[in-house]
Structure 1
Amino acid sequence: MDYFDRHIKDKALSLLSKFPLLAITGPRQSGKTTFARRLKPDYTYVNLELPEARNFAKSDPLAFLRSYQNGVILDEVQWVPELFSYVQVLTDERNIPGEYILTGSQNFLLSNQITQSLAGRVAMLNLLPFSKAELKNHIQVQSWEALTVNGGYPRKYQFDIAPNDYYPNYIQTYIERDVRQILNVMDLGNFQKFLQLLAGRVGQIFNQSNFSNELGIDQKTVNAWLSVLETSFIAFRLPSYYRNFNKRILKSPKVYFYDTGVLCSLLGIKRAEDLNVHFARGPLFENLVILELLKKELNAGNIPSFYYWRDSNQNEVDLLKETDGQLTAIEIKSSETYHSDFLKGLKYFQKIAPESAAKLIYAGNLNHERDGIQISNFHNL
């Protein structure tokens, strides 16, 4: 398979020219190692998942860092968090831009250590699985349903693995392994049930007490389990937007998944055709669109400000995107047929936030403006 260019490349090169360290985080198997080695093929590569490299770094971090300098990729660096304080001292002494590229899969370990030791010295990027835009130069994306079921993990495309073969193994090998490492979950069966319940309620308001009652666990455990999925780049919370509006609104988050292939596997969806009559067709399309917009922001090196909005009268906007104080309200519909009532929530929101822009993204073919609202089809996302 040809190498798929990653759209985050330009931003990564720019940051390497300005900071001594570049940290790349993301889900396991999202292509971080391949990307880093393609980005700087002349850099020395060290994989800290290998026991001998990890032991050297832990037992004598100064000697380790003096052995590897002036262009080094430290892969899975979360295994040796002790390195960060030494990296700080040595990079301050040498003051060489782009000296180290750090990669890691467990976001919370990498971020916590970086904020404590390397603030101001490190630039951070998140690399998610392939976006639709990254895939389109190599494969034909025939439908949103096919893209949803196939997801974006590089290995799946590299070896042409069927979704039903790839994702159950990914979930068992990586998600459950990471959970055991981080939380020492004793009842793995209950955690698997939690994952499936979360998938079945994608795009819905996250209610901790409902999960607690159904699983027979306390709400602290529910929140801890969701936090692990967030730090492992499996799921994320979309917060409610409640600034500047007086009307009573809901403040609980919604939950979406970082890859729709994982989500479909948890829902038992094996083929694109299964989505035609599936109860989660609408939420899956919504997850896919939000995820594509999220990848676009992350690949540009931006920190996305994404929200949803709903008031006590059930007026709702699926996605609010805030850029430099400007709000764009986005409604997302999986229907292939346009209906004028799709614009109802957007029009209401524009009345209470008249400075906002509005956009409808749906699964049909229209791509034009109506009543001051941009209507876009998925292929022109």
Structure 2
Amino acid sequence: MIERVATQKILQLSTVFKAVAVTGPRQSGKTTLVRMLFPDKTYVSLENPDVRRFALEDPRGFLKQHEAGAIFDEVQRTPEIFSYLQEILDSSPQPGRFILTGSNNFLLQQNISQSLAGRVAILNLLPFSAEELFVSDTTAPDENDLILKGLYPPVYDMGIPAEDWYPNYLRTYIDRDVRQIKNITDLIVFERFIRLLAGRTGQELNLTSLAVETGVDTKTVQSWIGILESSFIIYLLRPHFKNFNKTLVKRPKIYFYDTGLVCSLLGIITKDQLLQHPLRGSLFESLVVTELLKKRTNAGKQVNLYYWRDKTGHEVDVIVDNGTSLLPIEIKAGKTMNNEYFKGLSYWNKLSSQKSGLIIYSGDQEEVRSNGISTMNWFTMAKSDV
């Protein structure tokens, strides 16, 4: 079994909070991990119709059977038990009594904030990171293979070919999770919307353009974006507010949490197709952004990533906001360093009167230049403390 970086944080949270909720997309390894970490706790799957019916019809009776503690899997399926769970948690100071998992962040967060605020710690578990998958490797794996294959555990643990796994994952996600969140009548239109969104990976979110191409209104598009975001299919990278007296772009950029899913949606199934595809650079950027995301979520930290762009087109791909300092990052898919890579960061440094920045790319030349800008291979970044 591949060791997950989030292990220590989950164990630590279970010693100080009465319950721990592990959220994330379906098939990201939540159930496998919590069952391994808490082998003495009874495992209860609320996807099971009989178990779910019992929990919904007699929540007191259901929880009475598990007073000593348990793992409740896909707990967002039974929102009625949260108020009763509050009673049990308040009756004892025992930490780590219940471990909850859920694949819908909106539904789970909503129920926790209403009934269990202050009693439950929440950690998002995303698919494998490159650090987890290649922990013993000293040289970078082929980023194109990784982009194509993605990082969902079943593709590695069960050896299912990516071109077979992702279409079925998408079909299951639409049939089960989308219907659970919102009663979308025309799932074919919704699937077309996801494919259109995949073609905008790394681009600004333009609701009007998406609505026109999908054939629905902008309110519907906004609602569907919310569904994909809350179920960990897409991530919206918000613009940073620092303007340096410049007029800034205010729309977020769209990234999918997994490049393998994007490739499947775009019909990219071979490395040759990927290398020739116009979105290859955006897919590499998406790989790096999600690796940065996983560093934060695996440590149980708030995500502090943004991007910066002004109305004249000057842009920095990622801004890491550390509170007292900002780290600008440029992401480049090429393997050969050239002066064009430094333009965005040099412009930022001139505006901000600082000397810092990081270029993450697929090449091996790593250095720190006199202007304070460093260059780093993407895999070195994935295994570092950036």
Q: Count residues in correspondence.
A: 379
Distance 1:183 1:49 in 2: 18
Taking structure 2 as the reference length, the TM-score comes to 0.95
Contact 1:24 1:125 survives alignment (8 Å): yes
Residue number in structure 1 paired with 2:91: 93
Contact 2:329 2:345 survives alignment (8 Å): yes
Q: Gaps spanning 5+ residues in structure 1: where?
A: none
> Where do residues 304-315 of structure 1 align in structure 2 (5 Å cutoff)?
304-315=303-314
Residue number in structure 2 paired with 1:297: 296
For the aligned residue pairs, the C-alpha RMSD in angstroms reads 1.5
**Local SS of the residue matching 2:141:** coil
Q: How far is the alpha carbon of 1:328 from its aligned partner?
A: 0.8
AA aligned opposite 2:28: S
Residue number in structure 1 paired with 2:379: 379
Q: How far is the alpha carbon of 1:112 from its aligned partner?
A: 0.4
Runs of 4 or more off by more than 4 Å in structure 1? 138-141
Distance 1:175 1:369 in 2: 46
Residue number in structure 2 paired with 1:31: 29
> Where do residues 61-100 of structure 1 align in structure 2 (5 Å cutoff)?
61-100=59-98
Superimposed CA distance per residue, residues 132-189 of structure 1 (whole angstroms, 9 cap, x where no aligned partner)? 0110147896311111111111111112111111111111112343222322222222
> Which stretch has the larger CA shift, 237-246 or 164-173?
237-246
Contact 1:46 1:72 survives alignment (8 Å): yes
Contact 1:22 1:123 survives alignment (8 Å): yes
**Local SS of the residue matching 2:318:** strand
Q: How far is the alpha carbon of 1:115 from its aligned partner?
A: 0.8
> Where do residues 1-381 of structure 1 align in structure 2 (5 Å cutoff)?
3-137=1-135, 142-243=141-242, 245-355=244-354, 357-370=356-369, 371-381=371-381
**Local SS of the residue matching 2:224:** helix
Q: How far is the alpha carbon of 1:266 from its aligned partner?
A: 0.5
Contact 1:329 1:356 survives alignment (8 Å): no
- Change beyond 3 A, Cα 1:195–1:207: same
Superimposed CA distance per residue, residues 102-123 of structure 1 (whole angstroms, 9 cap, x where no aligned partner)? 0011111100010111111100
Percent identical among aligned pairs is: 48
Distance 2:117 2:38 in 1: 23
AA aligned opposite 2:182: L
AA aligned opposite 1:34: T
Contact 2:67 2:88 survives alignment (8 Å): no
Contact 2:281 2:333 survives alignment (8 Å): yes
Q: How far is the alpha carbon of 1:356 from its aligned partner?
A: 7.0
Distance 2:270 2:97 in 1: 45
Superimposed CA distance per residue, residues 82-114 of structure 1 (whole angstroms, 9 cap, x where no aligned partner)? 111111111111121000000011111100010
Distance 1:296 1:361 in 2: 15
Contact 1:145 1:273 survives alignment (8 Å): no
Distance 1:30 1:42 in 2: 22
Contact 2:240 2:306 survives alignment (8 Å): yes
AA aligned opposite 1:29: Q
AA aligned opposite 1:103: T
**Local SS of the residue matching 2:228:** helix
Distance 1:309 1:296 in 2: 21
AA aligned opposite 1:82: E
Distance 1:89 1:265 in 2: 45
Superimposed CA distance per residue, residues 271-303 of structure 1 (whole angstroms, 9 cap, x where no aligned partner)? 233221110011000000000010011101111
Contact 2:166 2:264 survives alignment (8 Å): yes
Q: Gaps spanning 5+ residues in structure 2: where?
A: 382-386
Distance 2:362 2:207 in 1: 32
